[in-house]
Amino acid sequence: MKSSSSSVSANILSFDGLKHLRQLQYSKLNKKVAALQYEKAKNDLYLNITAYFLETLCAKENIGNCKNIVESLQKQEEQISIKVGHGKVTIADLLQIQARLADAENTLLSAKHNYDLSRMNLRQFLELKDYKTFVPNVTVVDSIEYCNFSQTDILNGIIYT
């Protein structure tokens, strides 16, 4: 007895459960996600540039403040040395002012170093090659006032002078 068996099967999709519609919606959502990620990256870049720029601006302000302190202490030293010559104050007072002046000069040197470092950090972040001539162009010397400027104003302030 010979037996043979055969079968034929066919798959006919009668309803796909709105699969294509869901794929289209998923693709649209992915497009929105990509656009939002692009905006986030752009905003992060803007914030980082602004942070480095404001760091540079604060370092520049700090140099000015330190210079004012040094000048003030130099004037005090001159006045006290005259008073020491007349015998009105002791030499210890003069030495104390000279010590404060030396400390202020050291602080000024550190402020200049910090300014150079902040310029270098900004230059590296912007991937600029020439560090020595890179000086952000700032007409406003107050970093708090500068924070109120727009993104375009800040980015335009970062140029070679």
93 within 8 A of 30, measured Cβ to Cβ:
no
Banded model confidence at residue 160, pLDDT cuts 50, 70, 90: very low
pLDDT tens digit string along 74-88? Answer: 999 999 999 999 999
Taking only the tens place, the pLDDT of each residue in 10-57 is 566 566 667 888 899 999 999 999 999 999 999 898 899 889 988 988
Residue spans of the domains in the chain: they are 31-157
Amino acid code (one letter) for 50: T
Angle between helices 91-126 and 19-86 (to 10 degrees): 160
Per-residue pLDDT, 46: 87
DSSP letter for each residue of 73-98: HHHHHHHHHHHHHHTSS-HHHHHHHH
Which of 35-48 are b and which e, b meaning 16 or more Cβ less than 10 Å from the residue's Cβ? eeeeeeeeeeeeee
Q: Distance between CA atoms of 46 and 36, rounded to whole angstroms?
A: 15
Give the pLDDT of residue 8: 62
Dihedral of CA atoms 29, 33, 38, 44 in degrees, nearest 10, equals 160
